[in-house]
Structure 1
Amino acid sequence: MIIRIFKAIIPEELHGEFEMKFKEISVPAVENYNGLISLEIAKPTKWYPNEFIMISRWDKEEDLIEFAGHNWNKAHIPTGMGIYIDSCSVDHYHEIELPKF
């Protein structure tokens, strides 16, 4: 499994509008792809006051290629969402399976 962590820095005055669009535009743009195992979004805390994240888990690399293209190590920004983002990044990790209890 591949874990994809997208981070976006959003100006404070746009938080409310971005959060609404994050749910209405970005989540559906990801949810409909084969190989998506799970999806979570989160809003800022006091330690990262302008950072929103999306964590998605994917079955395999081919699924990420279908979603984001061959350069899946780059952020995939749905149409209309770029106007809110000061900067963004995306990181990927292979899952380390935990023992079953």
Structure 2
Amino acid sequence: MIMRIFQVTTRPGKEQEFGRLFHETAIPLMNSTPGIVRVLPGAPRTESPREFSFVMVRESLEALRAFVGEDYQSPHIDPAEAELVESRSVKHYDLVDG
């Protein structure tokens, strides 16, 4: 299994708008994609009010590629969200059992 950690920092003042997309669109989408094992969405905290994250576990690298494409190491964002996002990052790890 592969673990993908995706982090987003919103543009100042765009936290609420991005938050709506995060809760109403992104979380349901991630939970419904083929090959997903677990989705752990992370909402902002007081000390980091513009930071959102997802920890996603997929069955395999092939399942991840089927969802995001061959360029799975780039932190893609939906074009509709681009104006809300200041920065984004993505990291991948092999999931350790136990």
Q: TM-score range by the shorter chain?
A: 0.7 to 0.9
> How far, CA to CA, are the matches of 2:96 and 2:6 in structure 1?
19
Structure of greater Rg: 1
> How far, CA to CA, are the matches of 2:13 and 2:52 in structure 1?
14
- Residue deviations 1:50-80 (CA, integer Å, cap 9, x gap): 2110111100000011111011011121231
Q: CA deviation at 1:97?
A: 1.0
Match of 1:17 in 2: 17
Q: SS of 2:76's equivalent?
A: coil
Structure 2 residue 50 is the aligned partner of structure 1 residue 50: yes
Query: How many correspondences in the alignment?
Result: 98
- Give structure 1 stretches of 5+ with no counterpart: none
> How far, CA to CA, are the matches of 2:31 and 2:76 in structure 1?
13
Question: Identity across aligned pairs (percent)?
Answer: 27
Match of 1:95 in 2: 95
- Give structure 2 stretches of 5+ with no counterpart: none
Aligned-residue Cα RMSD (Å) equals: 1.6
Match of 1:74 in 2: 74
Q: SS of 1:81's equivalent?
A: helix
TM superposition score normalised by structure 1: 0.85
Q: SS of 1:7's equivalent?
A: strand
TM superposition score normalised by structure 2: 0.87
Larger strand proportion of the pair: 2
